Structure 1
C-alpha cells in the first residue's frame, strides 16, 4: 500500500508538471496559451500597446485561470468589463522570465486609460501578493466610466498598495465624494454630508480658514481613501469624531502628517480603528513643529497606539504622556513612540493638477519589450524533480 501511494503521488506530480495546467510565457500571447491553463507564469498585457486576438479567444483562454505569477496590464483597451478574469483568485508579483515585463510598469495589476470600461467583475480575487519591487498592487487610473461596487471596494482595501483615487462607486449606500479634476480634498471642496473621501485630505499653506464651517464638514467623514496632510497651515483644530478608517494612498508619507502648523492645538480621532495599509512608514501619526499641539485625548492616544507608531518632535514629545492606555497593557508605550529631530519627508502638494499621488506607471518608457526568441508558451517543467522521481519509482518497482 505504501509503495502504491508513492507511485500515485509520482504520477500526479508528473501529470501536473508535464501535462498539467501551469503555463509559462514571459510576455504572453494569449492566443498561444494552452486551452486548460489554471496558473500562468508571466505578464499579461492587453490594449492598444499589445497585439490582441479576438475577444472570444481571450475569454476562452483565460476562463480557467485562477493564479498568476507576474503582472496584468490593461491599458487603452476597448473592454467594457473584465469578466474574462472573474475566476482569478491570486496574483503574485514576479519577474520570472523577461525581467522587464513587470518592472517597466511597476504595478501588479494596472488598469488605466480604458475609456469604455464600466465594471471589473474580479469576483474571485482574494490575494494580491506584493513585493518591495512593486509600486502598487491594484492600480486604477483614468477609466472615466468605471465604477466599483462597495463589495469590490472592500475586497480591494484588504490588499496592500491599492490605488484608485476618486473612484466611482456603483449604487452607493454612503455619500462618496470625488473630484472630477483629481485634485486633493482641502478646506474648500469637501461637500456637506460627505462620508467617504476618495483621495487625501491636504491642507497645504492654508490661511484664513473658516474653522466652524470646515469642522462641520469634517464631522460626517467616516473614511478617507488617502492620507491626512497638514503642512504650514493656520488651522487650529482637526476633529474627526466619526472617522474610523484610513487607507493610505500615499505610501511615501505617514498616514497622518502634521508639520509646521503654528496654531494647531487640537486633534480628535476618537473612533479611528482601521488602517488596512500604512505604506512605507509604520507611523500612524508624524507630528513635527506644531508648538501648541502638546496633548491628545485619551481615546485618540489609545486608538493611535493600537494601530501603529507615533513619531513626534520638539515640545510635542509629551503628546500622549500622562495618558493611561489599555492598548498596550504589558508593553512600554515608548516602543510605539519615537521623537523626530528634523523633518524626514518632502511634501509635494498643490492645486491645478499637482496631485503627487497620481503616479502614472502606464507609458513610462513605452511597452515592455519581449526579448524571448519566439515567445512560445511552455509548461513549467522541473527535470531534476522528474529525474529523482523516476529513480525512486525504479527503486520501488525493483
Structure 2
C-alpha cells in the first residue's frame, strides 16, 4: 500500500515537472519545445504568405512547438492552408476561450458566424484532422450570444471523418460540422442535401448531415419520391423548412432527432427547427417518433403560418407536448400550453424556478398589503413632505408588483431565459415598452425619495426659503431624470444604467447629508423633549437605509458592468458578472423589493409624526 502510494506521488511529481505553461509569442521559434499548456489566440491563414513566414507557421515548426500541448486557452483559426492534417495538435485535449475584448452584435443576422473557438475552414488538401485526443471545445459566452461557435468545421473539400470522430465532435457544445463526409466503417448511412435542391436527396439515408429545405416546389409529382427518401431518415442535422410548396402530405416515420446547427437570429426563417409556411394544399405532416431536438437559438422551434388546410393533428400535439420546452409560433393555434415540461430532471428544474417566482410574488404581495394597512392607520397631513412620501410608498408598491409580474424568466434546456411574465403575454417581441414602464417607475421612485430627503430638514426646521429651493431642485431633477430616461430607452437602450446610476449616487449622498443634519439638529433638543427626538431619528435611519440599498442594487446592475468592459484588466471579472447577472439578475431584482418594503413597514409609524422645532419652547434664562 505504502509503495503504491509512493509510486503514485512520484509519477505525479514527474508529470508536474514536465508540465510547462506557455504564453503564445511570435515568431513561434521563440517558444520552448515542451509546452503542455498554451494561452493565446492564433490565426494561421494560408493566403497571407508574409504572416506565415514572419511567424514561422510552417508545418515542421508547428509540429516542433505544438506537439505536446494538451490544453489551449484562447482561439485557434486555421484557414486556406495546404496542410494535409493537423497532427501537430495530436496531444490537444481541450480548447477554451471567452473571446476577451470582442463585441457581439445579436442584430447582425446577415453573418452566420463571427467567432469560433476552434475554426477550421477552406483547407482544400486536408484529408484527416489528426487530433485524436481532442475531447472538449468550449465557447465561454452567454447563451444569448448567438453568433459564436465552439468547434467550427466547414468547406474542407477532401476532409473525411470516421464515424466515431464525427459523433465525438458533433456532441461538443456549439459545434458546426456542415456537410461532412464520413469514411471507413459506419454504423449508419450518412448523406446530405444541398440548400433548396430536393433533387439530390438520396434514398436509404439514415443520418442527414444537413437540413431539409423544400422551397417553392410546385411539381407535386416529386412528392412520392420525397416521402420514400424521408422514410428511412432517423436524424437531421439542420432545420426542416417547407416553404411555399404545393405538396399535400409528407411523413417522417423514423425521424427521432433534429440537431439544428444554426442560430436563429431575428426570426431568420431558415434557422429554426421546423418552419412550415405558405403551403396552401398541405393536409398532412407527421413526425410520429420525434422525441428530441437541440437548437442554439431562442426563437420558437415551430413556425406555422399560411397553411390554409394543414393544422396540428392530435398525434402532432401529443408529440409536441412530450418534447421539453417545445414552443410554437402560430397566429391561429398553439396546440395547447407551451412550452411543455418533460419528466425527470427538467421537470424538477422548472418546478424549482416556478416555485421561487410564486414565492417572490406571494411574499412581496403580503408585504405590500401590510404596508398599506399600516399607512392607512397613520395620521397624515396635506404638507408637501407627507404627500411626496405617500407617493413614494405607493410607487414602490406599484413597481414591486409590476416587476414581480413582468421580470420573470424560465431557463430552458439551452439556458435561454424565456420570458413568462407580462411581456410574454402581451408583447412578446417588443420588450422595449415593458422596459420603459419599469424604468419610468424606478426613476420617479428615486426622484420622490430624493425630494423627501431634500425637503424634510427644511420642513422640520421651518426654513421657508430653503423649502422653496428644495422643492425647485426636486422639480428640476424630475424633468432631467425622466427626459434622460426616455431618450436612453429610445436611442441607447443598453446605456440606461449610465443615466440612472448617477441618480442613485446623488440620492445616497443627499440622504447621508440630509439625515445627518436632522440627527444633529435633534441632538440639540433639550432632555425633557427627548421623546420627540426618537421618531425623527428612526425616520432618518429608514430613509438612509433605503437610499443605501438602492445604491447597492444600482452597483449590481447589468448595465453598470459594461462601463468596465473596455478595460483589458477586468475582462474576466466583467464576463463573470455577466454570467451571474444573466442567471440571477431577475431573481435579485424581484426579491430586493421585499427588503425595501420591510424597511418602510418597520419605520412607517415614525415617518408621519408631526414635529417642528417651533414646538420646542425656548428655555428661560435662570435669574442669578
The unaligned stretches of length 5 or more in structure 2 are 1-11, 104-112, 265-270, 352-409, 413-417, 430-624
The structure with the largest helix share of the pair is 2
Separation of aligned partners in 1, 2:147 and 2:331: 35
Deviations 1:137-164 (A, max 9, x none): 2222221110111111111121233223
Q: 2 CA distance for matches of 1:19 and 1:218?
A: 54
Aligned mate of 1:120, from 124, 129, 136: 129
Pick from 314, 326, 331: which aligns with 1:314? Answer: 331
In the superposition, the TM-score normalised over structure 2's length comes to 0.45
Which residue pairs with 1:379 in the alignment?
Answer: none
What is the CA distance between 1:288 and its match in structure 2?
2.8
1:197 corresponds, among 197, 208, 211, to 208
CA RMSD of aligned residues (A): 3.7
> Cα 1:299–1:259, aligned 2, differ >3 Å: closer, same or farther?
closer
In 1, the alpha carbon distance for the partners of 2:45 and 2:181 equals: 22
- Structure-2 change in CA distance of 1:39 and 1:196 (3 Å): same
Whether the aligned pair in 2 keeps the contact of 1:284 and 1:308 (CA below 8 Å) is no
Equivalent residue for 1:178, pick from 192, 195, 207: 192
- The residue aligned with 1:353 is none
Whether contact under 8 Å (1:296, 1:320) holds in the other structure is no
Give the direction of change, closer, same or farther, for the CA distance of 1:273–1:64 in structure 2 (3 Å limit): farther
- Looking at structure 2, the residues matched to 136 and 302 of structure 1 have their Cα atoms a distance apart, in angstroms, of 30
Residues in 1 aligned to 2:147 and 2:301: alpha-carbon distance in whole angstroms: 22
Structure-1 residue corresponding to 2:28: 30
Q: Which deviates more from structure 2 when the two are superposed, residues 131-140 or residues 120-129?
A: 131-140
Is the contact between residue 295 and residue 320 of structure 1 (CA under 8 Å) also seen in structure 2? Answer: no
Partner of 1:284: 301
TM-score w.r.t. structure 1 length? 0.68
Q: Following superposition, which runs of at least 4 residues in structure 1 exceed 6 angstroms of deviation? A: 329-332, 335-344
Return closer, same or farther for 1:340/1:145 CA change in 2, 3 Å cut-off. farther
CA contact (8 A) 1:202 1:228 kept: yes
Cα distance in 1 between the residues matched to 2:428 and 2:231: 30
User: In the comparison of the two structures, how many residue pairs are matched?
Assistant: 317
CA shift for structure 1 position 303: 5.5
Q: Which moved more, 1:294-303 or 1:69-78?
A: 294-303
Task: Specify which of 192, 206, 217 is matched with residue 217 of structure 2.
Answer: 206
Aligned counterparts of 2:133 and 2:178: Cα–Cα separation in 1: 23
Where do 5+ consecutive residues of structure 1 fail to align? Answer: 1-11, 345-398
> C-alpha displacement at 1:186, in angstroms?
4.5
Structure 1 residues 133 and 268, CA gap change in structure 2 (3 angstroms): closer
Distance in 2 separating the partners of 1:184 and 1:84 = 35
Give distance in 1, aligned partners of 2:243 and 2:175. 25
1:268 aligns with 2:286: yes
Cα offset, 1:264, TM superposition:
2.6
Alignment correspondent of 2:38? 40
Structure 2 vs 1, CA of residues 39 and 45 (structure 1 numbering), >3 Å: closer, same or farther? same
Give the Å deviation of 1:219: 0.5
- Cα deviation 1:13-38 (Å, max 9, x = unaligned): xxx8x99622223x754322222322
User: 2-side partners of 1:53 and 1:326: how far apart?
Assistant: 51
Partner of 1:110: 119
Q: Deviations over 1:117-175 (max 9, x none)?
A: 00013222222212237522222222111011111111112123322322111123432
Q: Is the 8 A contact 1:254 1:281 kept in 2?
A: no
Distance 1:53 1:208, change over 3 A: closer
Shift of 1:222: 1.4
1:87-236 paired onto structure 2 within 5 Å: 87-96=91-100, 106-130=115-139, 131=141, 132=145, 135-171=148-184, 172-178=186-192, 183-184=194-195, 186-210=197-221, 211-236=223-248
Q: Matches of 1:193 and 1:19 in 2, distance apart?
A: 51
Provide the rounded CA distance (Å) in 2 between the counterparts of 1:186 and 1:305. Answer: 32
Where is the strand percentage greater, Structure 1 or Structure 2?
A: 1
- Alignment of 1:240 with 2:252, yes or no, is yes
Aligned residue for 2:332, secondary structure, equals: helix
Change over 3 Å in CA distance of 1:169–1:225 after alignment to 2: same
2:66 to 57, 62, 80: 62
After superposition, the C-alpha distances for 1:228-281 in whole angstroms (9 at most, x for unaligned) are 112222222331111122221321222112222223332222222333x40222
Greater radius of gyration (CA):
2
- Cα separation, partners in 2 of 1:134 and 1:205, compared to 1, 3 Å: closer
